[in-house]
Structure formats: structure tokens, C-alpha cells
Amino acid sequence: MIATIDEFLWLFGAIFGMLRSIKMKDYRVSHASERKSLQYEEVIYRQDSYDDFLWRAEQNILRKEFSRLSPGMRYLDFACGTGRILQLGEGYVGDSVGIDIAPEMLDIARTKVKHSRLVAGDLTQRDYFSEELFDMITAFRFFLNAQPSLREEGMNVLASKLHDKNSTLIFNMHGNLWSHRLGTKIWFWLRGHRLNTSSYRQSIQLVHAHGLEVIRWYGFGWVPKVFYRIFNPRIMFALDHKIAKIPGARYVAYDLVFVCRRKSDFA
């Protein structure tokens, strides 16, 4: 039943997206400004904001995954932005690099990382690492808001940059359709606005289409964002941790994190 509803909403969203495609800005250029870079640091991830607490949960996941790496391995952070994840991951590997299309974002990243290389460019348009493959790749806050064609291009190029069958790609979808995001999406639709969503099923389909498989996945975030604003956010974060212990709760979590590798039977 859920799959049927999921398919219907996906089809509806696809049609709605096509009708609005002329007005939709290419996600490649949406973050290329100093104002957007500062917004990430000072607004979205300000201390005790909803996204700040979400990032704390993601850090726990990433530390667990980074700890599986050996010191000599190579790591790429795709669409690295202001360097949050790259700063965390560089201490676990021998060589780390971040790439982002927005130089303004990289200016902030340079103040955070210690030894990582930073590259300004669009990896979906040009191979800046033609002689390089990576043991781990991360891509956070990219796939949800990327237009469908860019999602496919991004997943395709990242899959091609994995070193071998044991290498991992970790990405997130911070807008699960079957979380509290659904209510927000309906509210936006009634007001004539568009809100991006994905789901576990859609994410799996994207992964499989590019020769990858999900080997582990995580979910976090059940308390609606507005509750973090109205009530004590630390109490709401503690409540989210309590809900995380409920079996099956991750399917309706707001933020889904997937750990992928190549499928052994993919040609």
C-alpha cells in the first residue's frame, strides 16, 4: 500500500515538477554567492538550530563509518560546501579532498580544514580527478534539492570514482517524504509552492540504477522542526534519540543516510 502511494506521489511530483521546470533554478548555481555561504554558517547551522542538532546526529553516523577506514585511504567530499564534513573526515584518512562549485563556500572551508585539498569546479561537467579513485566519498545536502537530471549525473560520476568493491559512498536525503516533511509538503502545495522530497524507496532506486547497493542505512529526526523552535531544542533532541530506539522508526525519519558500494554483479 505504501509503495503504491509512494509511486502515485512520485508521479504527481514529477508532473508538477515538469510544469514548473521553467521557473526552477539549476541547483548547480543556487549556492554560488557569498550571502548563501554565510547563511549556511550563521542561520542554517547556528547553534541549537534544528539543522545543528541534525548535524550532531549525522556526526555520530559519520564517525562510525570513518572509523572503518585505515589511515592511508583516500577520501572525497563531493559538494563539500563550507567544509563541515570534510573537516570531520580528514583526520581519519591519509589524503582528503573536497570539491564544490561555489568558490564562496570554499573560502569558508579553507578556514576549517587542516590539510585537505579544495577544488572549485563541477565534477559532473569535468573530471578534475582523472587519475584518482577514492576509498570513501561523501555527498551531503546535495541529492534532495538537485533536479532529477543532476541527481542522475551526480550519482553516476560518484559511482565511477569508487576505488573498488569495498569502497563506500555515503549520501543523505534530508527530506524523507514519509516523515513530518509530508505535512510541510502538502502545506507548500496548497500555497502554490514546491518542496523537494524523496523516500527510502526512491533513494534505493537511484542507487541501483548506477550499479550500487545499500549496505547500511540510518534515519534520524522525527520531531517536527517547528517543535525545536517552540520548545526547548535540547529536550526535543533527546526525544528524537528516544524515538530512534523504536524498531522500524528510521523509515519515517526526516533525514536518511545511506552507505553504498558497488554491486558485484554490475557490468
Per residue, the 3-state secondary structure of 127-194, as one string, reads CCCCCCCECEEEECCCCCCCCHHHHHHHHHHHHHCECCCCCEEEEEEECECCCCHHHHHHHHHHCCCC
Q: For 216-228, b where at least 16 C-beta lie within 10 A, e where not — what string?
A: ebbbbbbbbbebb
pLDDT band at 7 (very low <50, low <70, confident <90, very high): low
Rounded CA-CA distance 161/243 in Å is 36
> Which residues are 168's β-sheet partners?
136
Eight-class DSSP state of 140: -
> pLDDT value at position 29?
60
pLDDT average, residue stretch 38-62: 90
For residue 187, being part of any structural domain is answered with yes
| Cα(116)–Cα(75) distance, integer angstroms | 9
pTM over 0.75: yes
Strand, coil or helix: 1: coil
What domain range includes position 66?
2-262
Q: Is 75 inside a domain boundary? A: yes
Domain membership of residue 107 (yes or no) is: yes
Q: Which pLDDT tens digit goes with each residue over 99-142?
A: 999 999 999 999 999 999 999 999 999 999 998 999 999 999 99
Task: Look at residue 267 and tell me if it is in a domain.
Answer: no
- pLDDT band at residue 6, thresholds of 50, 70 and 90? low
| 3-state class (DSSP) for residue 97 | strand
Q: What is the CATH number of the domain that holds 107?
A: 3.40.50.150
- Tell me whether residue 36 is in a domain: yes
pLDDT for res 264: 77
205 near 39, Cβ under 8 Å? no
Sign of CA dihedral 195, 51, 95, 118: positive
Q: Is residue 32 assigned to a domain?
A: yes
Confidence (pLDDT) at 83: 97
pLDDT at 23: 47
Q: How many domains does the chain have?
A: 1
What's the chain's average pLDDT? 89
